[in-house]
Structure 1
Amino acid sequence: MAGNSDPLSPRAKLAVTAGKAVAAASRAAGRGSGSVIGGRVALKLDPDLLGRLAQNLDVVLVSATNGKTTTTRLIAEALRAAGPVVSNALGANMPAGITSALAGGSESKFGVIEVDEKYLAGVARDTSPKCIALLNLSRDQLDRAAETRMLAENWREGLAGSKAVVVANCDDPLVVWAASSSPNVVWVAAGQMWKDDAWSCPSCGGVMQRPGDDWFCGECGFRRPTPTWALSGDHVLDPHGSAWPIHLQLPGRANKANAASSAAVAAVFGVPPQVALERMYQVQAVAGRYDVVQFQNRDLRLLLAKNPAGWLETFSLIDPPPTPVILSVNARGADGTDTSWLWDVDYTRLTGHPIFVIGDRKLDLAVRLEVANQHFQVCENLDQAVQQAPPGRIEVIANYTAFQDLRRRVGN
């Protein structure tokens, strides 16, 4: 591999140029950002391009089932205190999208990269990260994602012996098991609201004991490690026991947890918690998530929830009843085509809210709400749901492609 002072090889430069040209053509044709197709073309021309682009950067990788995009954004803001950052801020998180993002950051010091869970081991191998943040693992896209323990095993094997500092959530047993193969781990007590994927020990299969916030396996002794960073209410506790206030424009406990992990990552690069947390306040919305938009003279808050753990966190931050709620679920390729996960979501938490159901799989969702004894109306589209909703701000919760549909409709 070229030394630090060497520019990219002619082949790598050609790959970058070709990738950018294809991406620009894709954008001009109205087919999205073009980052994925551009990255694919670039990697075809130079299969080692990702590693070459990463070699002059201090790289942070962020992986999880939920919260990757937001945490990547928070870390990027924090590290800008120490130098220019390149990041795949729009969430194209497989190798082609990551390559595209890094190709646009030749002057940067840091690369802050969100990585799809299935690709983490390979991207870590290619980019030699200084730090890897592991937030959580839960069921997602049941038709094609590996079962959660298999993903954890993939992480564990892929990260074994890694030189990176691994910043990991000590409240998620699957994450702890995955991170435990790494020689240098910083444990963060970030919490775990959704526990239904971690009742059996990932190490031996025994039953997990969960007294209070603690957890351990009664059979093999695998247990929660002692954290050096912790989320405590509205504060982050650092390794010295100092409490730093979290001021975010993003709502909910999950985002405070993301901020705690982000502060621990920033500290690896010498950015103090106070500076890191102050910079995180700049983040108002992440790729449209949490945005409040005007539509048909109404305020709509757009919330993304892709799987049972994400829906549970989202229910905890919506305004209380009788705030109207619109739910939209699709089951296209990017969502996963299996909607059986709807039965894992506790929809009784919506009791008292007028509910309006839209999306490709609105009838699947309607059956689920019927069983949960919820009052709801099935609507043809967003326009009809908004017209029928009682006064006040409307909370709109959607899974992945349904969320993209919504953003297009409201012009966000």
Structure 2
Amino acid sequence: MRAKLAVSVSRGVAAISRATGRGDGSVIGGRIGLAIDPGLLARLATGRQIALVSGTNGKTTTTRLSAAAIGVLGTVATNSFGANLPNGHAAALAQAGDTPYAVLEVDEHYLPHAWSATRPMVVAMLNLTRDQLDRAKEVAMLAKLWRDTVRGRPVHVVANADDPMVVWAASAAQEVTWVAAGQRWHDDSAVCPECGSAIARVIGETGDATDWRCTGCALARPQPQWWLDGDSVVDPAGERHDVKLRLPGRVNRANAAMALAVAEHFGVRACDALPRLAEITSVAGRYAMVERDGKAIRLLLAKNPAGWLEAFDMADHTPTLLSINARDPDGLDTSWLYDVDFSSLRGRRVLITGDRAYDLGVRLTVNGVAFTHVPSFGAALTALPDGRMEVIANYTAFQQIRAELNRVQ
């Protein structure tokens, strides 16, 4: 009875939140539901086949792609707006009702809690890099947390073969499917988590490591069962599948490969899943192309050095607005800006805004990137000529700009 009451109240509160424009209800509904029944998440997870998706970057997109792929089988419960803590998980399952499948994005720090509460069939491990320096764990500590979570547990792991930290963590699992999902950011896995020796890499033309190994122990890149070959993904049977996405960049083709590997464990063939993936045009506002005031604006989210590197790869050579805040959801320490190489922005028109725009301006100056400071997103629209425009922002700055665009609609 308590669980039924919790679900009912959770749905009602979420509906009120959406109706009043306060949010999508994906946090407040779950928070109240769990307050009524602390065991609500475990009860809602019972009887479902569940996949958990975690990593520092790309987890919202990979969750969306995985849910779309598994959707071939039927309705899938998922936290599609990125509410990746227990409140969001409970709200997503409560809102979905009695569905046989669920794909849940999980904050990398909460993977042990999510595993204990949901007993997933599959866990997808994407990558581990530094994030929110003022409060996040060191990468090696997160890798150990993940390793301890899956060690000896009855769960199938889908893991990125190109990230040494992920490989070390996933290797403790009983069953692993390896995916060559790439890793262009190498600074957070320069040394082996097992023995502390240097990681040696062979770097390809795209900046991804085509091979890696520890120079002091046996840890090395495993042979992937899934990998990208140009615009195609190759499955464990060696069959090639064209990946036609409406989401930009190589990183999203890699996210699609992870999603296909997750869906395969649910019994979904790649050829059946790929048309579903091709229908996705944006993920929680990311990658969306919006027409406003004569501008074709694309929104890209970048929260940490690895994310900014991938955003630069996705962005076209057009006028670009960069926006940086340092509020609680972003992390308060902006010193990570000095880990980002902004030199690829040279030669294009760059505008900057946000609470910490001047921090960003100093960093761009060091990299020799000319820029103009504007007080707001609206001022950037006024300053730029009609045509294409890229917007790259960290979390709260992204949400501000997205809300501004929604208000004008």
Question: TM-score range with shorter-chain normalisation?
Answer: over 0.9
State the one-letter code of the partner of 2:139: T
Give structure 2 stretches of 5+ with no counterpart: 204-209
- Preserved contact between residue 294 and residue 386 of structure 2 (Cα < 8 Å): no
The match for 1:52 is 43
Provide the C-alpha distance between the structure 1 equivalents of 2:386 and 2:348, rounded to a whole number of angstroms.
12
The match for 1:20 is 11
The answer to whether structure 1 residue 324 and structure 2 residue 315 are counterparts is no
Provide the C-alpha distance between the structure 2 equivalents of 1:231 and 1:135, rounded to a whole number of angstroms.
15
In the TM superposition, what is the alpha-carbon distance from 1:318 to its structure 2 partner? 1.4
State the one-letter code of the partner of 1:133: A
In the TM superposition, what is the alpha-carbon distance from 1:16 to its structure 2 partner? 1.2
In the TM superposition, what is the alpha-carbon distance from 1:23 to its structure 2 partner? 2.7
Could you state the TM-score of these two structures normalised by the residue count of structure 2?
Answer: 0.96
The match for 2:310 is 313
In the TM superposition, what is the alpha-carbon distance from 1:31 to its structure 2 partner? 2.4
Provide the C-alpha distance between the structure 2 equivalents of 1:211 and 1:291, rounded to a whole number of angstroms.
35
In the TM superposition, what is the alpha-carbon distance from 1:29 to its structure 2 partner? 4.5
The match for 1:7 is none
The answer to whether structure 1 residue 66 and structure 2 residue 38 are counterparts is no
Task: Render the CA deviation track for 1:238-284: whole Å, top value 9, x for unaligned.
Answer: 11111111010001000000001111111111111111112100111
Task: Render the CA deviation track for 1:363-391: whole Å, top value 9, x for unaligned.
Answer: 10011111111110011111111222244
The match for 1:145 is 136
After TM superposition, the structure 1 = structure 2 runs for residues 104-183 of structure 1, keeping only pairs within 5 Å, are 104-183=95-174
In structure 1, which of residues 341, 356, 361 is the aligned counterpart of residue 356 of structure 2? 361
The match for 1:387 is 382
In structure 1, which of residues 68, 91, 94 is the aligned counterpart of residue 85 of structure 2? 94
Secondary structure in structure 2 of the residue aligned to 1:214:
strand
Provide the C-alpha distance between the structure 2 equivalents of 1:57 and 1:338, rounded to a whole number of angstroms.
40
The match for 1:271 is 268
Worse-superposed segment, 281-290 or 379-388: 379-388
State the one-letter code of the partner of 1:41: I
In the TM superposition, what is the alpha-carbon distance from 1:38 to its structure 2 partner? 1.7
- Preserved contact between residue 26 and residue 81 of structure 2 (Cα < 8 Å): no
Provide the C-alpha distance between the structure 1 equivalents of 2:70 and 2:42, rounded to a whole number of angstroms.
21
- Preserved contact between residue 290 and residue 302 of structure 1 (Cα < 8 Å): yes
Number of equivalent positions: 401
The match for 1:287 is 284
The answer to whether structure 1 residue 262 and structure 2 residue 253 are counterparts is no
- Preserved contact between residue 354 and residue 389 of structure 1 (Cα < 8 Å): no
In structure 2, which of residues 392, 395, 398 is the aligned counterpart of residue 400 of structure 1? 395
CA RMSD of aligned residues (A): 1.2
- Preserved contact between residue 356 and residue 389 of structure 1 (Cα < 8 Å): no
- Preserved contact between residue 236 and residue 245 of structure 1 (Cα < 8 Å): yes
The answer to whether structure 1 residue 197 and structure 2 residue 188 are counterparts is yes
Provide the C-alpha distance between the structure 1 equivalents of 2:187 and 2:29, rounded to a whole number of angstroms.
39
Provide the C-alpha distance between the structure 2 equivalents of 1:177 and 1:266, rounded to a whole number of angstroms.
23
The match for 2:206 is none
The match for 1:351 is 346
State the one-letter code of the partner of 2:40: L
The answer to whether structure 1 residue 246 and structure 2 residue 252 are counterparts is no
- Preserved contact between residue 122 and residue 158 of structure 1 (Cα < 8 Å): no
In the TM superposition, what is the alpha-carbon distance from 1:332 to its structure 2 partner? 0.5
The match for 2:76 is 85
- Preserved contact between residue 293 and residue 386 of structure 2 (Cα < 8 Å): no
Provide the C-alpha distance between the structure 2 equivalents of 1:44 and 1:391, rounded to a whole number of angstroms.
50
In the TM superposition, what is the alpha-carbon distance from 1:355 to its structure 2 partner? 0.4
Task: Render the CA deviation track for 1:77-107: whole Å, top value 9, x for unaligned.
Answer: 1111111111100110000111000001223
- Preserved contact between residue 140 and residue 307 of structure 1 (Cα < 8 Å): yes
Aligned sequence identity (%)? 52
Provide the C-alpha distance between the structure 2 equivalents of 1:18 and 1:81, rounded to a whole number of angstroms.
30
The match for 2:31 is 40
Provide the C-alpha distance between the structure 2 equivalents of 1:257 and 1:387, rounded to a whole number of angstroms.
36
Secondary structure in structure 2 of the residue aligned to 1:393:
strand
In structure 2, which of residues 297, 300, 303 is the aligned counterpart of residue 300 of structure 1? 297
- Preserved contact between residue 84 and residue 107 of structure 1 (Cα < 8 Å): no
State the one-letter code of the partner of 2:367: A
Provide the C-alpha distance between the structure 2 equivalents of 1:40 and 1:53, rounded to a whole number of angstroms.
14
Worse-superposed segment, 30-39 or 200-209: 30-39
Task: Render the CA deviation track for 1:312-334: whole Å, top value 9, x for unaligned.
Answer: 011012112xx100000111100
Task: Render the CA deviation track for 1:16-73: whole Å, top value 9, x for unaligned.
Answer: 1222233334444442123212211211221111111011210000001111111111
In the TM superposition, what is the alpha-carbon distance from 1:410 to its structure 2 partner? 1.1
Give structure 1 stretches of 5+ with no counterpart: 1-9
- Preserved contact between residue 285 and residue 402 of structure 2 (Cα < 8 Å): yes
State the one-letter code of the partner of 1:252: G
